[in-house]
Structure 1
Amino acid sequence: MGMSVTISAASADDAEHILKLQYLCYQSEAELYGDYSIEPLTQPLDDLKAEIARGHALVARLGEEIVASVRGEVDETGTARIGKLIVHPRLRGHGLGGRLLDAIEEHFARDADSAAKRFRLFTGHRSDGNLRLYRRKGYETVATERIGPRLTVVTLEKAA
């Protein structure tokens, strides 16, 4: 008998599990860009807890195990900045990232306190899987910024 994946709001109690998953998931990004000092691999637990408290975070669970997560917050302009969409490597390619992205967009679109006007996220220029997902979900490139010799950050956006 198989288990289904459930998506729910994350709490501070989930922070340590999210951080461990984040570390696992960003290994491939670090390898892709030849940089293991990227923020997702060096983020302290207290910073993650503060992000969860300040914005909104979701987790996907398979049974009791957290297997995916996403977080974000809405700024004063009504832009929901979505980040750290992570899916355990063994579950990639099954639509879980898309489900999480839909769920956090829905939260920010219907939350009376945030009333997002647009959604914004970013990824590296070599992160083809991320770019495919975001474009499939209606995001369009609004900016690119060369960060260094190996990385150009692509910013994507769509209306809420």
Structure 2
Amino acid sequence: MTSAIHIGPLAAAHAGEVLTVQRAAYVTEAQHYDAPRIPPLTETLDELRADLMAGVLAIGAWTGTRLAGSVRGRIDGDRMEVARFSVAPDLQGQGIGGALLAAVEEAAPAEVRVFWLITGAESEDNLRLYRRAGYEVVANTTDAVGVALVVLEKLRAA
């Protein structure tokens, strides 16, 4: 694990940094699937800023002053989508993703009973991380650009 990781809430002022890390992280996914128009790469700064200002649960991880990764939680009743989960490519595999995932789950309101997310069906590193964290595949789907996806869920511990 990278030393001195600081986990904390994100604000609209972080939007530029978040978008930069998000785009860097998702480029490899887009290349793998030959799908350059996946939503994390087409999201605009204004859209991201609006998301952060709307009260979406947003968590960042920093190494020193550098934003190393981020994740957002979109809450709908007793369910929370883990969305736009990204770690800077040069920092992947160092425990930042696991720390972010644990932090967003912990920060979810008490009424959230189910965490869910979508990732590429061939994204083995992502799937390994999610399975280690207790997520299980519950469905297969395809997105608008033809990328095969899996839906994973995890029940919140009582």
TM-score w.r.t. the length of structure 2 is 0.91
Establish whether residue 65 from structure 1 lines up as the match of residue 66 from structure 2.
yes
Q: Does the Cα contact within 8 Å between 1:141 and 1:157 map onto a contact in 2?
A: yes
Equivalent runs, 1:97-108 vs 2, <5 Å: 97-108=97-108
Corresponding residue of 1:75: 76
The secondary structure found in structure 2 opposite 1:26 is: helix
Q: Which runs of no fewer than 5 residues in structure 2 stay unpaired?
A: none
The size of the alignment, in residue pairs, is 154
Aligned-residue identity in percent:
38
Give, in angstroms, the shift of residue 53 of structure 1: 2.6
Give, in angstroms, the shift of residue 84 of structure 1: 1.3
Give, in angstroms, the shift of residue 146 of structure 1: 2.7
Establish whether residue 155 from structure 1 lines up as the match of residue 156 from structure 2.
no
- Equivalent AA in structure 2 for residue 65 of structure 1: R
Corresponding residue of 1:126: 122
1:79-106 per-residue CA deviation (whole Å, 9 max, x = no partner) reads 0111111111111111110010000000
Corresponding residue of 2:88: 88
TM-score w.r.t. the length of structure 1 is 0.90
Q: Which moved more, 1:97-106 or 1:43-52?
A: 43-52
CA distance in 1, matches of 2:145, 2:17: 33
The secondary structure found in structure 1 opposite 2:122 is: coil
Higher relative contact order (CA 8 A, sep 6+): 2
| Structure 1 vs Structure 2 CA RMSD | 1.6
Compared with structure 1, are the counterparts of its residues 154 and 44 closer, same or farther at alpha carbon in structure 2 (3 Å cutoff)? same
CA distance in 2, matches of 1:37, 1:146: 14
Give, in angstroms, the shift of residue 151 of structure 1: 1.8
Q: Which runs of 4+ in 1 moved over 2 A?
A: 146-150
CA distance in 2, matches of 1:148, 1:75: 23
The secondary structure found in structure 1 opposite 2:21 is: helix
CA distance in 2, matches of 1:3, 1:156: 29
